[in-house]
Structure 1
Amino acid sequence: MSAFSAIGIDREVDQNEFTPGIEPQATWCPGCGDFGVLKALKGAMTELGKNPDEVFLVTGIGCSGKLSSYFESYGYHSIHGRSLPISRAAKLANPDLEVVAAGGDGDGYGIGGNHFMHTARENHDMVYIVFNNEIFGLTKGQTSPTSPKGHKSKTQPHGSAKDPIRPLSMSLSAGASYIARTAAVNPRQAKDIIVEAIEHDGFAHIDFLTQCPTWNKDAKQYVPYTDVQDSDEFELDVTDRRNASEVMYEAESRLAEGEVLTGRFYRDDRPSYGQEKRHTGEMPEVPLAERYFNDDYEWERSADLMDRHR
């Protein structure tokens, strides 16, 4: 029996299977929006019929980094801003594995911004959930890349002089092929969006608004919210890049004013990076990782691979 035996087996999955026995109870602060991400992720995997052996969850540093401790699956707790390159490597080595990366707004839009940009550009087939609470929570309340202008914190006691980044617009310009925003206060929408993101073949970016009542009093609970798919104000075609860009800009502008717009903003069905590489013959059809469990496979030496390019 190999480590690949569990992948692709259809069976009923109970949501409790994703609750670890070692650390079943999350220890985030009371009222933290991160609980909403955990619940939505468990619900999405159950709805899709995925079992823990089919999922690889990679997290960064911060409060969001604890997600891999509270979610039963293969997991990897990476260093600050580096969850995406590890996730990319895992997906390329084993395309059948369901890969989910998670990090905070500082982790993903700050120190990991370069990885975010190029992972989106290359359209790797994976889901990236960014816990956006507009603050550095684990280190007790410093200004983050998404903190609104004028926000006072330990690092900006007189108020931030900088405009926040626009994560949805940045994701679109970088090349992500699925972009959505949801909030911890909207659990049903959050679960449905994660389901769609997992089913999408390409880089799916979810900007997940997670309130931080301990260190970010300004953000409150991200309510009330408006679903752009249900609103009569917006006629959004998620496949129209220009239309999506306009609605994203509106959503990002209104968030600073206290109005929360959530929903699906963009979808592009172009081939993923792995599909492109297999099409050109630069990646094998049989997953690289599976060779470790094939006793009959004749291993290639790196020197032999280099000879082909001389």
Structure 2
Amino acid sequence: MSAFSAIGEEREVDRDEYTPEIEPQPTWCPGCGDFGVLKSLKGALPEVGRTPEETLLVTGIGCSGKLNSYLDSYGFHTIHGRSLPVARAAKLANPDVEVIAAGGDGDGYGIGGNHFMHTARENHDMTYIVFNNEIFGLTKGQTSPTSPKGHKSKTQPHGSAKTPIRPLSMSLTSGASFVARTAAVNPNQAQRILKEAMEHDGFAHIDFLTQCPTWNKDAKQYVPYTDINESDDYDFDPTNRAEAQELMRETEDKLYEGEVLTGVYYRDDDRPSYQQEKQEIGEMPDEPLAERYFDDDYEWERSYDRFIDKHK
């Protein structure tokens, strides 16, 4: 069975199919929030109806980068901050694959921040999970872009003088068509949000709060939390950009005051994805580009031929 004949195959999918035989038990620290991401992802994929053969998980460097070692699907472990360009290329080459990118807050909001901004702006059809534990974990506890002001670490022993970034607001401003926040301590909500994100046609960004009991004891476990989509205290329309922006600002203020707000903040289901835009202007074929590698009769086009012809 090839990757192409497996796509679209209708069959029941069990979450245990996503547990690899070689390394079934994750080696994250006890109490790490990354376990919650893995559990929620394994639960959401069968609900979406995706098999391991239809799924690609692209990760960056860090504790979060080990995610595709513990999920039995196609995987690509990239270098630091570069999961999104690899994921974008894979989705454009074979749009029928469910592409998920993942990285930590340092990987995604720091080193890969430029890729994050432009992937959101272009609205590539994929799900992007950012493990946000407000610290660099794998490299042993340095200040990250989401570490709160005053947080003491190996790189900021007297306390960080920097104001943390606002990932939800940055995502919305950059152009993401689906923006959400969830937490490892709320696996049921996380699974629901992951399912909605994967079903969304466009760039879906999830800021996933993941506690780090080893290197960031200040962050606790992000509890208690409030689900903004279910609470009577937050009556807003997630399709209204202005209302979403205001609630994101409030959410990002309250996180460092000890109140955790989570849920789906914004979604635009009418905006075309990058792939659809490229097809509309005739720069991308309807059939998957990747299938051409399996077509012996296909006559390959080379972009430089067009420029050579112009100068003949």
Cα gap change, 1:72 to 1:152, in 2 (>3 Å) = same
- 2:86 paired with 1:86: yes
Counterpart position of 1:37 = 37
**Secondary structure of residue in 1 paired with 2:204:** strand
1:268 Cα deviation after fit: 1.0
Matches within 5 A, 1:119-268: 119-268=119-268
Question: Per-residue deviation at 1:305?
Answer: 4.2
How many residues are treated as equivalent by the alignment?
Answer: 310
Identity %: 77
Q: Over the residues paired in the alignment, what is the CA RMSD in angstroms? A: 1.1
Residue 218 of structure 1: SS of its match in structure 2?
helix
For 2:232, what is the secondary structure of its paired residue? coil
Alpha-carbon distance in 1 for matches of 2:307, 2:196: 40
The one-letter amino acid of 1:236's match is F
Alignment correspondent of 1:301: 302
What is residue 290 of structure 1 aligned with on the other side? 291
The TM-score normalised by the length of structure 2 is: 0.97
Maintained 8 Å contact 1:32/1:210: yes
Give the unaligned 5+ runs of structure 1: none
Partner residue of 1:5?
5
Spell out, residue by residue over 1:241-300, the C-alpha distance to the aligned partner (whole angstroms, 9 max, x if none).
Answer: 110000000000000011100000000120000000011110011111011112222222
Contact 1:2 1:293 in 2 (8 A): no
**1:3 positional shift:** 2.4
> Which residue identity does 2:297 align to in structure 1?
D
Alpha-carbon distance in structure 2 between the residues aligned to 1:205 and 1:9: 27
Structure 1 stretches of 4+ with a deviation exceeding 3 A read 305-310
Q: What TM-score, normalized to structure 1?
A: 0.98
Match of 2:63 in 1: 63
Per-residue deviation, residues 15-74 of structure 1 (Å, max 9, x unmatched): 111011111100000000000000001100011121101001000000000001001111
Counterpart in 2 of 1:52? 52
Structure 2: segments with no counterpart, 5+ residues: none
Return the offset for 1:189.
0.4
Is the CA contact (8 Å cut-off) linking 1:185 and 1:223 kept in structure 2? yes
Q: Residue type of the partner of 2:107?
A: D
Helix, strand or coil for the counterpart of 1:5?
helix
Counterpart Cα distance in 2 of 1:19 and 1:138: 23
User: For residues 68 and 306 of structure 1, do their structure 2 counterparts lie closer, same or farther at Cα, with a shift above 3 Å needed?
Assistant: farther
C-alpha displacement of 1:302: 3.7
* Bigger mean CA offset, 150-159 vs 191-200: 150-159
Instruction: Provide the C-alpha distance between the structure 2 equivalents of 1:30 and 1:295, rounded to a whole number of angstroms.
Output: 51
| Cα-to-partner distance string for 1:93-132 (whole Å, 9 max, x where unaligned) | 0010100000000000001000000000000000000000
Partner of 1:74: 74
* Other structure's SS at 1:102 match: strand
Counterpart residue identity of residue 90, structure 1: A
Quick check: 2:172–2:245 contact (8 Å CA) kept in 1? Answer: yes
What is the CA–CA distance in structure 2 between the aligned matches of 1:237 and 1:256, rounded to whole Å? 25
Structure 1 residue 307 displacement after superposition = 4.7
Once structures 1 and 2 are overlaid, which stretch shifts more, 19-28 or 296-305?
296-305
Maintained 8 Å contact 1:197/1:204: yes
Query: In the aligned structure 2, how far is the partner of 1:81 from the partner of 1:177?
Result: 21
Query: Within 1, Cα distance between the matches of 2:267 and 2:26?
Result: 33
- Residue 293 of structure 2 aligns with an amino acid whose one-letter code is Y
